[in-house]
Amino acid sequence: MPTNVTDVDVLVIGGGVNGVGIAMDGAGRGLKVALCEMHDLASATSSNSSKLIHGGLRYLEHYEFALVKKALAEREVLLANAPHIMWPLRFRLPHQGALRPAWMLRLGLYLYDHLAKRSQLPSSHSVRFSTNSPLKSSFTKGFEYSDGWVDDARLVVLCAMAAQQHGAEIKPRTACISAQRTQGVWQVILENADTHTQQHYRAKVLINAAGPWASSVFDKVIEQAAPQQLRLVKGSHIVVPQLHSQPQAYILQHIDHRIVFVIPYEQHFSLIGTTDVDYQGDPAQVAISTDEIDYLCQVANDHFSQQISAKDVVWSYAGVRPLIEAGQAAGQQAQTASRDYRFTVDAPQGGAPLLSVFGGKLTTYRLLSEDAVNAISPYFAHISAPWTKDATLPGGDFSSQPALIAQLRQHYPWLNHSELQRWVRSYGRLCVEFLPKTQHSNHTKPGYQALGEHFGCGLYQAEVDYLMRQEWAYNANDILWRRTKLGLSFNEQQIARLQQYMQAKHTL
């Protein structure tokens, strides 16, 4: 038995949205929590989603009323608690009578409007597409409804920060390689991805929140049969120069009865997705195929006047949905498999409990986390009540983005609007952590010098240092594709310089 062992109440495996959500909830309720993530936070499914806080209009077709109701109600809670990284988004649904009749869409949208209480989001209505519509002229009418947008990767980092503020230990780039029950506790071995040094933990409860790896954690780490099989379903997205300049997203129906979103993205782009393809490989190796790119271009081309092809794709990504295997309904199409979550608690007589998460959505991460911590609460006498419903995420304590931008502009009149907007949408109030403390009253932009080296596209040394110090950013990819999306604009030279700077800081 090693001598250097850290004792915790809960050890969480997995730094996706569900793992950090559980760590945040549990730490805030007084538990001593440690979380390990084998790569970067949000490096798997939780940064490769469609980035919607939604009830899931199309799930109504599969009679998933309970899931839709739960997610619709949660939508409002999340939007109120993180105004920096989430905001309302209107969706336009062009009508195609041959695919779904108007009465069916009206009924679906009526349910969508009324299944849960709605205070922030406007209701649905029908629309006529005018001559300035970006759609082909054959689309003359449709519907409009509300859902929400989220920066998925930043949601994960902000939850991890909230967990840390409540005392949790967050360990990215650290894999859980073994977890064994001994004498009423879990003996856990973690291994650092860079140094391969091992650390030993003793945990009262183990949480398996490994997303698409949840079953393989049973096989390889816990060495026990998984209680639930997962159905891994790949979903891919493409990013192209913006197809239109209107603020709405579009939800497009395809002849295969699937739907595809076209979402305004990072000011100058459109995000198009997603696909549903059963997946058997290693989730870490998932990648978009040329068939998927062609499919997504085809669906967009069927609707929009502006035509695109594979050569217009500036970026693409793919993720693996860890869905609950439906048992007797196996063989069903991937797009109809449930997006709901379930967790199992395995607590043999005298043995330490294990809670495992299967399935889920970004939209339901907070509820899932609260439910999970409730489920392990009988094992802790000192645990306090749920708290996250009314808690803002770090940096989110402001009323609206325009109000915060106006406030910051008063203190930092030399800042460009584009940087201010990006920082408010990424960090909210946290951006003052890397802005210079001294104020400048004239407009000659003296403050930019105080931000240090400019790596390109508005990314300054002060922000990079902050991300490395406070947000666990380790390499250029962490910053360019997860803490920000500046990877869309950086060239190879700029990436190399950023990587070189970060590398040098590690060796200081």
Ligand X SMILES: Cc1cc2nc3c(=O)[nH]c(=O)nc-3n(C[C@H](O)[C@H](O)[C@H](O)COP(=O)(O)OP(=O)(O)OC[C@H]3O[C@@H](n4cnc5c(N)ncnc54)[C@H](O)[C@@H]3O)c2cc1C
- Contact pick of 210, 334, 393, 415 for ligand X (by CB under 6 A): 210
Identity of the residue, 16 or 436, whose beta carbon is nearer to ligand X in the bound complex: 16
Nearest to 96 by CA among 248, 244, 252, 304: 252
Q: Which two tokens stand for residue 466?
A: 């902050």
Query: Shortest approach of ligand X to residue 170 CB, angstroms?
Result: 12
**Residues 2-21 close enough to bind ligand X by CB under 6 A:** 13-19
Residues 6 or more apart whose CB falls under 8 angstroms from that of 148 comprise: 52, 53, 54, 75, 78, 79, 86, 87, 88, 89, 121
How far apart are the C-alpha atoms of 230 and 225, rounded to whole Å?
13
Is it true that the peptide bond before 364 is cis, omega within 30 degrees of 0?
no
Query: Shortest approach of ligand X to residue 415 CB, angstroms?
Result: 32
Identity of the residue, 272 or 404, whose beta carbon is nearer to ligand X in the bound complex: 272
- Contact pick of 166, 173, 181, 321 for ligand X (by CB under 6 A): 321
Contact call for residue 217 and ligand X (CB under 6 A): yes
- Contact pick of 211, 394, 428, 447 for ligand X (by CB under 6 A): 211
**Residues 25-64 close enough to bind ligand X by CB under 6 A:** 36-39, 43-46, 48-52, 54
Binding mask 244-283 for ligand X (x = CB under 6 A): ------------------------------x---------
Binding mask 332-371 for ligand X (x = CB under 6 A): -------------------------x--xxxx--------
How far apart are the C-alpha atoms of 122 and 124, rounded to whole Å?
7
Contact call for residue 175 and ligand X (CB under 6 A): yes
Q: Residue 482 has what DSSP assignment?
A: I
Contact call for residue 308 and ligand X (CB under 6 A): no
Place of tokens 């090693």: 2
Query: Shortest approach of ligand X to residue 95 CB, angstroms?
Result: 23
Identity of the residue, 112 or 213, whose beta carbon is nearer to ligand X in the bound complex: 213
Q: Which residue is nearest to ligand X (CB)?
A: 16
Query: 175 has which bridge partners?
Result: 191
Q: How far is CA 147 from CA 18, 73, 93, 365, 490, in A?
A: 21, 11, 13, 16, 31
Identity of the residue, 355 or 420, whose beta carbon is nearer to ligand X in the bound complex: 355
How far apart are the C-alpha atoms of 478 and 287, rounded to whole Å?
18
Give the phi and the psi of residue 2 in degrees, each rounded to 5. -65, 150
Identity of the residue, 121 or 431, whose beta carbon is nearer to ligand X in the bound complex: 121
CB 267 within 8 A of CB 354: no
- Which residues form the interface with ligand X (CB under 6 A)? 13-19, 36-39, 43-46, 48-52, 54, 175-176, 209-213, 217, 221, 235, 274, 319-322, 357, 360-363
